[in-house]
Each structure stands twice: as C-alpha cells, then as structure tokens.
Homo-oligomer: A and B are copies of this chain.
Amino acid sequence: MKIIVGVSGGPDSIALLHVLSKLRHRLGLKIYVAHFNHGIRSEAAKDQNFVKTFSKQLNLSFYSKKEKIQKKNKSLEERAREARFAFLCALAKKTNADAIALGHTQNDLAETVLMRIIRGSGLLGLRSILPKRIINKNAIIRPLLCVSRTEVNKYLKKHKLKYCVDKTNSQQDFLRNKIRLTLIPILEKNYNPNIKEILISLSQTSSLDYEYLELQGRKAFKKLSKNSVKLKSVHLNQKNFKNLHPALQRIVVRLSIENVQGSMRRLTLKHILEIEKLLKADSPYGVVSLPQGVEVLKKHQDLLIQKSSH
C-alpha cells in the first residue's frame, strides 16, 4: 500500500511519520513524505530542510512544493489549506498512492467541534474531522485522530524526536488558537473537566446520525434528479421535492449543489435557508445566488440548480 504522509514538521506530523515508518514493514507500506512550503513564515525554508533531513534519516522519499500564498484577505489560512491539499492530491496521482495520511489528533478534533459550534454549524459540521474521508477520489486518513496531543508529546520524548515550532501559528489561525489556548482551558476548569471527551463524543454521534441522513438523502436525490445530473445542472420537480421530509430536503439541496459545484465548500446554512424561503414564496419565479457561481432557479414547477450564466 502506497501512502503519502503530509508532514509540516510540527510535533503531530513528525510523530505520525515516525510511527508509520516504524510500522512500514509490518503493514507493507510504501511511504512518500510530502512537505508543503507556504512561504508565509520566515522559518519556512528551515522547516522544509528539517523534514527533508528527517525523511532521509528514515530512508523515505521526500517531495516538497513551495507556493507563496498571497495575503489578499482574511481567508489566507483557507487558501493555504487548499493549495497544500492540491499539492497532496497531485502527488497522490503522480505516485499512484492509495491514501494521504495527515497528523490530526484528538485535540484538533475537539477544537474543531467547538470552532464549528461557535461559527455556526449543523450536524454536517459537528462531525468535525473524520478518521477517513474520500475527497475527489482521494482517501484521506488520519491515523492519530484517536491519540491526544499529550500522548504525541510523550511519544516524541520517548523516541527523542525533534520537531519544528510554529511561532506564527497564532496569527495564521486566530480563532482556532484562541479556542485551544483560552476557551478549552476555561471550559475544562470551570464547566466540565471532560470537555474534550464530550466534544469528541459529539463529533462521533453527529457522524453516525449524518451518515444515515445522507444515505437517505442520496436515495431521494437519485430518485428526484434522474437524467438531469449528467448535464452538470440538477433539475428537480418542486412538488416531489416538497414531499420529502424537510431534513432530507436540505440534504438533497446540498447534494444538488455538490453535483454542480464539485463540492459543498462555502455553502452555509444561511444559503439553505434562502433557498427554503425561495421555495415558500408565492412568486412562480425567483433565484438564489450561491458562492462559486452556482444559482438555484425557481421556475413554475421546477427547481434548477446550475452554474450561473453571467
């Protein structure tokens, strides 16, 4: 089995790489180390060299890509994440890898649940980080998702492993760091000492519940959208759509948009509510514009989800 391991050089990814490398013979793994150099931080070159040297020590092939992400707007971190992800996928394709392994831990999971709650999210978002996900046919796996940061640190100490320290971390992902460094400690101290476990459990039950809803939603979507999907636009009959339970309606809308747009990125509950308002309105015509150039068009009996023409 061929695996790409995304390694920033931070503690989590160094531990992940080390443990996978130790297990490679037993598990029959062929490992490719992938390092994405954001060019954002001054230590970027140093980090890249560190990961390269460490890979050499472990006798693993090393790949890197440097791409300076411009500080155009607030979503710097998001664009960096997208560029890194594109690099990993391209490398997976090139090496014909079976999976991309990332170093997220239990702590990332708990922090993400809380971040999603605070930013506003439903079941879909509360799932937080999944242990395995398929994105654009790439299997993303997170072997350390059931391991805490404390355990990672113990492991690093035990094996005398060095790692890079991200000094500007706090600027890159402000909300996440405030949650990690301030909010979770407050919640642990004053509200529930097991808050991390509670958040992890919420993520797990949300995954399970969403899985079932999505399964039923996909069945309904298939039934309602037949023949129309190939054209990269989805054509639904409003009457049939309205016969669905409102929870399934929302999933069918999401799936329709995913079909046209290629993903559900940037789609929020606010958009879904706008579409519901459009459907309820008396007027036989109407349109809702969505991010990434998709529109939902109400037209007599039909509901069309398509790329906007302008």
Inter-chain CA distance A186–B175, complex, in Å, is: 14
Q: What's the least CB distance linking A108 to chain B, in Å?
A: 18
Counting chain A residues whose Cβ lies within 8 A of the other chain, the interface size class is 35 or more
Q: What's the least CB distance linking A197 to chain B, in Å?
A: 8
User: Binding site of A, secondary structure by majority: helix, strand, loop or mixed?
Assistant: helix
Which one of A22-30, A31-39, A63-71, A245-253 is at the B interface?
A245-253
Q: Which of B121, B211, B248 contacts A212 (CB 8 A)?
A: B248
B202 touches A120 (CB 8 A): yes
A191 touches B183 (CB 8 A): yes
Inter-chain CA distance A208–B123, complex, in Å, is: 11
Inter-chain CA distance A211–B244, complex, in Å, is: 13
A240 CB within 8 Å of chain B: no
Q: Which of B121, B178, B206, B245 contacts A215 (CB 8 A)?
A: B245
Inter-chain CA distance A250–B269, complex, in Å, is: 26
Inter-chain CA distance A121–B121, complex, in Å, is: 16
| Residue in chain B with minimal CB distance to A194 | B120
Query: Which of A121, A191, A194: most chain B CB closer than 10 A?
Result: A191
Proximity string of chain A (189-210) to chain B, C-beta cutoff 8 Å, 1 when within and 0 when not: 0111011001101100110110
B213 touches A209 (CB 8 A): yes
B209 touches A118 (CB 8 A): no
